[in-house]
Amino acid sequence: MKHIFPMLILLVVGCSKKGIEAPIDEPIITPPEDENELVEGVDYFLPHIDLSNWKVTLPIGNPTEVTPPAILDYANNPLLKEFMYNDSTDGSLVFYTYPRASTQNSSYSRTELREQMVPGSNNTNWTFAQGGRMKGTLSVPEISKDASGKPHRTMVMQIHGRLTNAQRDLIGASDNNAPPVLKIYWDNGKVRVKTKKLKNANATVPEILHTDAWTDDAGHNFPLESGTEKFTLEVIASEGRLEVIFNETESVVYDDIHMQKWGIFENYFKAGNYLQTKESGAFAKVKYYDLVVSHP
């Protein structure tokens, strides 16, 4: 069954803790066919992102999540205005975060989208055999630095694994959490791609269902010229294969035994701003100009 998230154009207004302000109560205006062309008489651009099949996790509460359909009205949601808002000067959706609340299986905070194939539910996901594709254009215009002056890093895309209920019960796990098979970072002037590999390539079920059966690979870097410019990432998952394409010109492919054995897991896409530090005063802004997910 084909599952495509159609493009929806949203006008969002709000302000960030660190400072981009947008006018309040502006009307929704249909943009021109050329997204880089201004609407006559209007001095802002609009992002091209459909949030119908995404929920967002915020760095507040325990933490706080906003799911469809509430996320569609994020311009008027007081919980979201600080963390997820429109920058009308360049047509981006801004994800702002700082160290505070974290999820159960992490010590870091995030303002990050989680794919929901059935809006409002985490229970329907996809396998590599079923396939999935995510493509987005983004940038990291602002991020804090550590005491040595080195910029912190943030995760901007993921494919996260999930145990089925049967797999969870088989290994006696307390929840359905499985490792992220793909993590893509903005990391000090480069885009860094990390995938998972088995510590023992001969591991079998139920061994491979345990998080500690997996470790990170050596990683792959795509260089950025300035560190703050726009770049495009496309992630394509298919049976036994994972490909990451950078700026539509370079790619890295994973099609080994580890990807083949990963096929046992369910998966979901994530995108946004998952800041990889707990230092006081740290923060990051990630801008998404477009984001689309599809499944064959």
Statement: residue 155 has pLDDT above 70:
yes
6: Cα separation from own chain's centroid: 18
Angle of CA points 13, 119, 60, to nearest 5° = 55
Query: Average pLDDT over the chain, rounded to whole?
Result: 89
More confident residue, 127 or 1: 127
> Rounded to whole angstroms, how far apart are CA atoms 136 and 233?
6
Structure tokens, 136: 């987005």
Q: Which residue has the tokens 């477009």?
A: 290
More confident residue, 153 or 16: 153
Band of pLDDT at residue 43, cut at 50, 70 and 90 = low
Backbone angles phi, psi at 259, to 5 degrees: -70, -35
> Rounded to whole angstroms, how far apart are CA atoms 282 and 279?
6
pLDDT computed for residue 46 by the predictor? 80
Burial 206-219 (b: 16+ CB within 10 A, else e): eebbeeebbeeeee
| Burial of 29 (C-beta count, 10 Å sphere; 0-12/13-18/19+) | middle
Residues whose CB is less than 8 angstroms from the CB of residue 286 and which lie 6 or more positions away in sequence, other chains included: 94, 95, 138, 139, 140, 154, 156, 186, 272, 273
Distances (CA, A) of 279 to 85, 109, 194, 248, 291: 24, 11, 23, 35, 29
Statement: residue 15 has pLDDT above 50:
no
pLDDT computed for residue 44 by the predictor? 73
How many percent of the chain have pLDDT more than 70?
85
What is the amino acid identity at position 254? Y
Q: What is the pLDDT of residues 196-237, one digit of tens each?
A: 999 999 999 999 999 999 999 999 999 999 999 999 999 999
What is 53-66+95-295's CATH topology? Jelly Rolls (2.60.120)
> Residue 286's closest CA among 161, 166, 159, 191?
191
What is the amino acid identity at position 78? P
Residues whose CB is less than 8 angstroms from the CB of residue 243 and which lie 6 or more positions away in sequence, other chains included: 235, 236, 251, 252, 253, 254
